[in-house]
Structures are given as C-alpha cells and as structure tokens.
Structure 1
Amino acid sequence: MNQKRFLQQIEPIKDKMFRLARRLLVSKEAAEDATQDVLVKLWKRKETLKTYDNLEAFAMTVTKNHCLDELRLKRNNNLRIVHNNYEDHQTGLQKQLETKNELELVEHLINELPQQQQVIIQLREIEQMEYDAIAKILNMNETAVRVNLSRARKKLRSQMQNLQDYGIAEH
C-alpha cells in the first residue's frame, strides 16, 4: 500500500480517532499526540490493513487501546471531553449562549458516567457508529453495548429531568 492509498483510507476516520482520543485523554494536545501515534502504528502495519473487514473499527480499537495504555502509564484520572461540534450562525447571541451552556451541561453529565458508558455514548451518539462496530472496538457483545447505552441514556435523562425540576436547565 502506498502513501496516497493509505491517506485515502485513513482521512475519513482521522477526525473520529481524534474525538475518541479526546474523550479518553486530558487535553487537546494529548489527543493530537495520541492520534499521531496511532497513525504511525497504522502506517507501520499498512500492508496488513487490507486484511481487516472494517478498517474504521480497527483504527478506533487501536486508538482506544493506545489511549488506555497512555492513561495506565501516566495514571491520569482527570478525563474530560470537549466536544463542541455544534455551531449555528443564524441564531442570536442569547441563543448561542444558551446552546453553549446546554452543551456544557450535557458534557458535564456525560463526564459523570462510567468511562465505558462515556465511550459508548461518544461512539454511538457523536460518531454515529453501528452497534457491531462499537462491540468490536470495545471487545463486548452487541447486547452489552445496547444495555450500557440504554443505561447511560436513562441516567442522562434522569439527571436532566432533575435539573429541570430544580430550574437549573431550561430545555
């Protein structure tokens, strides 16, 4: 596999790899470094990549494992996500502030979930991955992925309802 072919295959999933790394690691810089490290690993295995049925699932698995290895090495427990991919240029400043606050609130609530549920929410809701691909990435069966996702959604709904009941969240 030449460099051009490799880049054609990796380019569509590079951002997903970064967002997963960002979910698992402390900072944008750490996520960028991890993504680069994984890209180097994939490049070194470029000749065997064609043997994988789902390159995206494989790349995401390598990314997840690399990040978890980094965390084990650094014993870093300050995991946070910053995922602000929502932008609406046609709303007023007040609406933009409300939306930003809502996104920060949801981000905070997601960060309160167990790490496995955080990753599943990231892969399913943000990356829009299929259950079978998530199961492969996390080395789980699809039923376990669905159960964890259901529990995470239920907990998030409950927390949002509690916040609304106390007048903290408007929507």
Structure 2
Amino acid sequence: MKQQAFLEKINPVKDKMYRLALRLLISKEAAEDATQEVIFKLWARKDKLKDYTNVEAFAMTTTKNYCLDELKAKKNNNLRIVHQNYENNSISLQRELEVKDEMLLINQIVDDLPEQQKIIFQLRDIEQLEFDEIIEITKMKSTAIRVALSRARKKIRESLTNKHNYGITKN
C-alpha cells in the first residue's frame, strides 16, 4: 500500500482516534503522541490493512489498546469525558458559566464510573459509534455493552438529578 492510499484510509479516522486517546489519557500531549504512535503502528502494518473489513474499527481498537497499555504502564486511572467547547456568542456570561459548571460536574460523575463503562460511554455517546463497531473494538457481547451503557447513563442521570435536587432544596 502506498502512502497516499494509507492516508486516505487513516485521515477520516484520526480525529476519532485522537478523541478516544484524549478521553483515556487526559493530556492533550499524551493523546497526540498516542495517536501518532498508533498511526505509525498502522503504517508498519499497512500491507495487512486490506485484510480488515473495517479499518476504522481496527484503528479504534488499536488506539484503545495502546492507551490502556499506557495507562497500565503509568498506573494512571484518571479518565475524563471529552466535550466540545460550547461556542455561542449570544449566550450570557451566567449561562456560559452554568454550562461550564455542568460539564465539570459531568466530568466528575464520569470519572467515578468503572473503566469499562467510561470507554463504552465514550464510544457510543461521544463518538456516536454503532453497536457493531463497539463490539468489534471492545470484543464484548452486545448485551454486555448495552448493560454497561445503560448503567453508565443511569449513574450519570441519577447523579445529575441528585445534584440538582440538592441544589433546589438547599436554596
């Protein structure tokens, strides 16, 4: 496989790879390094990429495994949700602060989730991957993925509800 053909397969996926790496490794620099390392690994296996039916799923799986190996090596279990910067110039400063506080709260809640639920939540709700892609990446059964995702969403929902209810009764 030539460089141009390789880049045509990898370029559409590299942003997702970066976001997953950032989600798992926290640091932008570590995520950039991880993404670059995974791309190098994929380049080294470029001739075998044609054997994979879903190159994106293979790239995401490789990214996930690389990041988990890095976390094990560094004994770093801190994971954070990746969120898009909320850009809307017409909102008030107060609303902007409320959104920022809400995102920080969600980050804290997601940090408390078990690692498997964090990964599945990231892949499904942040990256919006299909279940068959998540199955391929995580090597888990469909029912296990759905249960983990349901539990993650329930924990997030309950924590937000409790926080907001506490804030109402407190005031």
Q: Structure 1: how far apart are the matches of 2:111 and 2:79?
A: 8
- The SS at the match of 2:46 is coil
- Indicate the residue corresponding to 1:72 in structure 2: 72
Q: Structure 2: how far apart are the matches of 1:58 and 1:39?
A: 11
Q: Structure 2: how far apart are the matches of 1:128 and 1:27?
A: 22
- In the alignment, structure 1 residue 156 sits paired with structure 2 residue 156: yes
Q: Please report the RMSD computed on the Cα atoms of aligned residues, expressed in angstroms.
A: 1.5
User: Are the counterparts in 2 of residues 17 and 60 from structure 1 also a CA contact under 8 Å?
Assistant: yes
Instruction: Give the gaps of 5 or more residues in structure 2.
Output: none
Q: Structure 1: how far apart are the matches of 2:29 and 2:79?
A: 13
- What code does the residue aligned with 2:2 have? N
Give CA-to-partner distance per residue, 1:97-140, whole Å, 9 cap, x none. Answer: 21111111112111111111011111001100001111111110
Q: Structure 2: how far apart are the matches of 1:70 and 1:99?
A: 32
User: Are the counterparts in 2 of residues 84 and 103 from structure 1 also a CA contact under 8 Å?
Assistant: no
- Indicate the residue corresponding to 1:55 in structure 2: 55
Report the alpha carbon displacement of residue 82 of structure 1 after superposing the two structures with TM.
Answer: 4.4
Q: Structure 1: how far apart are the matches of 2:42 and 2:86?
A: 30
Pair 137,23 (structure 1): closer, same or farther in 2 beyond 3 Å: same
- Indicate the residue corresponding to 2:102 in structure 1: 102
Report the alpha carbon displacement of residue 65 of structure 1 after superposing the two structures with TM.
Answer: 0.6
TM-score (norm 2): 0.92
Alignment of 1:16-31 (within 5 A): 16-31=16-31
| Structure having the larger proportion of residues in helix | 2
Q: Percent identity?
A: 60
User: Are the counterparts in 1 of residues 78 and 111 from structure 2 also a CA contact under 8 Å?
Assistant: no
- In the alignment, structure 1 residue 3 sits paired with structure 2 residue 3: yes
Q: Structure 2: how far apart are the matches of 1:165 and 1:25?
A: 32
**Number of matched residues?**
168
Instruction: Give the gaps of 5 or more residues in structure 1.
Output: none
- The SS at the match of 1:77 is coil
